[in-house]
Chains A and B, each alone.
Chain A
Amino acid sequence: MFVARSIAADHKDLIHDVSYDFHGRRMATCSSDQSVKVWDKSENGEWHCTASWKTHSGSVWRVTWAHPEFGQVLASCSFDRTAAVWEEIVGESNDKQRGLSHWIKRTTLVDSRTSVTDVKFAPKHMGLMLATCSADGVVRIYEAPDVMNLSQWSLQHEISCKLSCSCISWNPSSSRAHPPMFAVGSDDSNVTYGGKVQIYEYNENTRKYSKAETLMTVTDAVHDIAFAPNLGRSFHVLAIATKDVRIFKLVPLRRESTTTGPTKLEVQIVAQFDNHNSQVWRVSWNITSTLLASSGDDGCVRLWKANYMDNWKCTGILKGDGSPLTGSSGQPSAMSTVVGSSIQTSQNALNGMSPPTDKAVGLTLTRCKELGFCPPAAGCVCGAGGVFLLMHVKRDVSTYLM
């Protein structure tokens, strides 16, 4: 892994959230400076800020994109007790020329009496819906019945979770066998209050969400929660950021057709890692849920990967080294032209540091010439001094097999 580029975000305060759009061509950032910025990726891979506006009158905690089927729509939530929905409108031509876009507020959701800590759009098969959770312990689910009129949002459900909520995640499964489901986490640190993760499921008959499960073993404050993409499986996988990283499997138990209550779930813990050795603040899955990333107070982002026998291992760590960015223009041009290298990560090469010494294995077995590739006249370029720099240990690709 290497740093391909660094972008000067130009927020005047802490960034709290960065979110990619569905196709990975745009991103949105939000900050304590009360603004949201939208960035577009150009053909050559550079990011340009195309909109920046004040969204709230408090820190903006989270920003998230609706599925592109609903157009270009963002939702944000803030310490100012509100969540808001924003839509990009196709701007006038001179704005387009200047590479700017217009975002207008479609609605402000003002039902919460406390800080709105998380906002998430529901899976698209449910229509244009979003869920918010707030410090007063309430999850609210809103729906825009007419996707062409985003100023109309109705509060469909209000679910009291009793504990201050910090994070929410929808189960992405679109299988008919799985009713809509979300998990909500609480950052209440009082362990005597019991389980800090609750799972709610929608009931077709009552048309209400009811609690399907509380993860009783998670008693410490929970800061983030994430369902994995379903991959067509019958069970669900949930990652939790608390004092450690945990991965749970939720297996729906076969229900009798006569019962009307929520599906019973069998909860199995798949993995538990205390490598951060501190509070964990974020967990998130990649597209195919083959990798989980987590970040903690140890200043590391850790990458977790399962091998084909479902054994989870830490395969990579990202951490700050404090060295200044070279040419802090924000988009150092050299970084964009780096073509894949193997021996030296280009990051190091570009920052003028010495090559990593950790476990880089240079094979000195044989020389290229002997392998018949460098005509003597051509001058050998196969590594310094003709040494056959064969491989270096690149474990993010590897530990799956252990």
Chain B
Amino acid sequence: MEEVDVEPVVTNISGIRPGKRMGFAWGPGDILVYETQNKASGPTGSGCAFIHVVRKDEDIYSPILRKLFNESHHIFVGLQTIKDDLPSKSKKPQFVSISRNYRSVIRACMEELQQAAVSANDTDMATQYGNQVSILLAIELIWNLCEVLFIDAAPAGSLLLHLLDWVRLHKSDVDEKAKGVLQSDSPAEHRDYWDVVLSYVLQGRLEDTRKMLMKQAMLQPAAKSMYKLMDSLLSKMPFYNPGGTQTLTEFDVKWRNWHEEVDRYLKDNSFASNQHLEVICKILLGDEDVLLEHKELLSTWYYFLITRLLYCHPTVKPTELHYYAQSSMMMFLDSGVPEPLDSILLAAFEFDIHQVIKDCSIALNNWWFVAHLTDLLDHCKLLQSHNLHFGSNLREFLLLEYASGLFTHHSLWQCAVDYFDHCPEFGRVYLELQIERVPLDTERKALKVLRICEERQMSEQVRSICKIMAMRAVRNNRLGSALSWSIRAKDAAFATLISERFLQDYCAKGTFSDLDLIDNLGSTMLLSDRLTFLGKYREFHKLYGEKCFSDAAKLLLSLMTAKIAPQSFWMTLLTDALPLLEQKEVIFSAEQTYELMYCLEELTSSLITAASGSGRPMQEEDVEVTKVEMLRLALARNLASAIVKEGTMQT
């Protein structure tokens, strides 16, 4: 490919002095710049401290274009699901219909922008909308031509019919004009009358031409026969019928006969007395000079090209198009310089797909068009055949760029996910890098992002999001939320830390918060020892509340004997045992009581060693001592009753 050196775009930043060094920082979708200086040059005291937010890809901030992005996203996803194994013959109509869907989205968007432009109060806004309409118009024009030439790839004969449709669709100003003419009191005398007639002829709309001419014929009874002759020539002009039985050669013979007939009438001056009819006759014969005299009506070289093909080479083959296109452009523009749109369309007529994509990327300020068109062409297997090593590489490159742009938008990023999903090489990594940057403003948004990551088994991102949310919740003292996020993150260390906080809270307040969560931990409590303890300890409280005393007692004891409870918590557990020991009924068996006593001894011995080291206040120690004494008493009494009870039962 030709190496073209395009100058980089320069963006001027007001408020920064020319030549001054700038600092910068990348953000999502923008870049921050500020004036700064060499570290060594020391303080200058200049308070010129503005930070400028420089943004790109402004299109995504337009609410109407957002619809274009949203709706084309659905079409894109649909296209990706077309099976590769279908025979290409049956796929073609699908591709054409997808191409049409894309175009209709563009059209809908244009109409809406047009409405907005008309109703905008502010002229700046109106101009902006107008500019966007212009860009979409061009995009649709190019896309439609690409559809005809590359996707539909009509053979000789049908090709011209498609190109005529293309012209008629994009050059519909004649209909507006015709409406004006027909609504006037005397259409045939309207000043635009002949313009309309000629425009119809140039577009090959011969039925419309005949209807129009009829009006003139009625005004000129004298020339009736001449009009009748023209009418018959127009009605006889053969058009190829791709669905019919006629072969292209048969059509060609028929067309040549008709052409000769028209030529005969021109030569024998049948229309010499009516300059308008004579011009029509010459157009029918494809007289290039006459065509070029009507540049105003043709408006562009590519419409000139199609008219020329219609009346000179109706059986043009795709491979011959480039020749006629080039010459038509030269003839029409004369010495004028082709503009970007001209070059793009010419490249299309030359079947140089890569050049079309390249030129479009240069001329248009968004990735939407090139990304979607390239993707569609790639599905049609057109990129491979044209450029061996650019194929899907180019497709992926453009899709990644487009999707990355979407990702900076607060709602469009969700569409971008699907684009990344369909980029086999780098899509996943891009998604991983982008999705973890989506701001997790609310729990709801976090869950949304999380679901996307979970669906794609992005375990690291899932973990990270949960961890961020857990950390945020802890910082705001929302322990329940923090715990559930760290369980989701499978973060044992953090779950331990939060369980600890819960237990501290319980010790301080005597109640648990977030009961729902703790009651329903289920097997997730196994994530960390402390969490298990928290869950089990809460279970004990539940059993106790439900007066299942013996189960509660069993559980309480097991928490200590199985070392699930941290020793720092044993005193609390033993204190919890007190009311059970004090019940009238014996709850702890003798053996269980021995175990409880053993726990108490273990605890007190470790407390003594700890206390000797630290200078704890006397009062606190006194409370502890009283507690231990109370426990000992209760245990001894319970042991006595248990032994008595067990002895009684055995006999």
Contacts and interface: CB of A to CB of B under 8 A. Distances in A.
Interface of A: 1-20, 22-25, 27, 29, 31-32, 47, 59, 61, 67-72, 89-90, 124, 148, 174, 229, 231-232, 281-282, 284-288, 290-291, 293, 295-303, 307-308, 313-326, 328, 330, 338-343, 345-349, 351, 358-359, 361, 363-376, 378-384, 388-402
List the 5 shortest-distance A-B pairs measured between CB atoms, nearest first: A320-B16, A340-B58, A372-B172, A308-B397, A394-B365
A36 B27 CA distance: 19
Interface stretch (B269-277, B310-318, B335-343, B577-585): B335-343
Contact of B31 (A67, A288, A293, A323): A293
A284 B25 contact: yes
Interface string B303-325: 00000000000000000000000
B371 to A, nearest CB: 11
A92 B645 CA distance: 59
A64 to B, nearest CB: 11
B52 A6 contact: yes
Interface string B1-44: 10111111111111111111111111111111111111100111
B60 A24 contact: no
B13 A365 contact: no
A397 B365 contact: yes
A393 B173 contact: no
B117 to A, nearest CB: 4
B49 A10 contact: yes
Interface of B: 1, 3-39, 42-47, 49-56, 58-63, 65, 110, 114, 117-118, 120, 124-135, 137-138, 141, 170-173, 175-176, 299-300, 339-342, 357-358, 361-367, 390, 393-394, 396-397, 400-401, 404, 426, 428-430, 433-434, 436-441, 460, 464, 467-468, 471-472, 474-477, 497
Contacts of B6: 393, 395, 398-399, 402
A320 B35 contact: yes
Contacts of B38: 281
Contact of A391 (B27, B110, B341, B429): B341
A155 B50 CA distance: 37
5 contacts: A5-B52, A287-B404, A308-B396, A320-B12, A366-B300
B110 A381 contact: no
Contacts of A303: 8
Given A290-B404, A301-B24, 4 more contacts: A71-B472, A319-B16, A342-B135, A402-B5
B439 A398 contact: no
Contacts of B141: 371
Given A174-B460, A323-B14, A69 B43 contact: no
Contacts of B47: 11-13
Contact of A390 (B127, B340, B440): B340
Nearest to B55: A4
Contacts of B400: 288, 290
Contacts of B394: 308
Contact of A361 (B21, B130, B340): B340
Given A6-B51, A323-B14, A383 B127 contact: yes
A69 B367 contact: no
A381 B475 contact: no
A15 B340 contact: no
Contacts of B34: 9, 15, 18
Contacts of B21: 281, 295-297, 299
A174 B9 CA distance: 36
A368 B35 CA distance: 44
Contacts of B130: 368, 380-383, 389
Given A68-B468, A231-B429, A396-B8, A301 B32 contact: no
B9 A394 contact: yes
Contacts of B60: 340
Best-buried of A15, A375, A379 by chain B (most CB within 10 Å):
A15
Q: Which secondary structure dominates chain A's binding surface?
A: loop
Q: Which of A14, A351, A380 has the most CB of B within 10 A?
A: A14
Nearest to B107: A373
B404 to A, nearest CB: 6
B54 A2 contact: yes
Contacts of B471: 68-71
B594 to A, nearest CB: 39
Contacts of B52: 3, 5-7
A330 B133 CA distance: 33
Contacts of A15: 23, 34-36, 49, 51
A315 B31 CA distance: 15
A307 B397 contact: yes
A234 to B, nearest CB: 13
Nearest to A336: B53
A351 B133 contact: no
Contacts of A368: 130, 133-134, 137
Nearest to B25: A18
B15 A324 contact: yes
Contact of A282 (B23, B128, B477): B23
B54 A322 contact: no
A1 B11 contact: yes
B12 to A, nearest CB: 4
A99 to B, nearest CB: 16
Given A3-B52, A297-B21, A22 B437 contact: yes
B138 A391 contact: yes
A174 B460 CA distance: 10
A73 B35 CA distance: 26
A347 B137 CA distance: 25
Given A9-B50, A285-B26, A298-B19, A341 B172 contact: no
Given A307-B397, A342-B135, A231 B426 contact: yes
Contact of B24 (A72, A284, A308): A284
Nearest to B65: A340
A153 B12 CA distance: 44
B25 A27 contact: yes
A27 B32 contact: yes
Contacts of B62: 339-340
A379 B339 CA distance: 26
A192 B280 CA distance: 84
A401 B475 CA distance: 48
Contacts of A400: 361, 397, 401
B225 to A, nearest CB: 36
A319 B14 CA distance: 9
B56 A396 contact: yes
A395 B9 contact: yes
A389 B131 contact: yes
Contact of B300 (A365, A383, A391): A365
A347 B319 CA distance: 47
| Residue of B52, B63, B467 with most partner-chain A CB within 10 A | B52
A202 B587 CA distance: 60
A320 B13 contact: yes
A31 B24 CA distance: 14
Given A11-B49, A23-B438, A358-B10, A342 B426 contact: no
Contact of A365 (B32, B124, B342): B342
A68 B436 CA distance: 11
A31 B133 CA distance: 46
Contacts of A25: 439, 441
A4 B30 CA distance: 9
Nearest to A315: B8
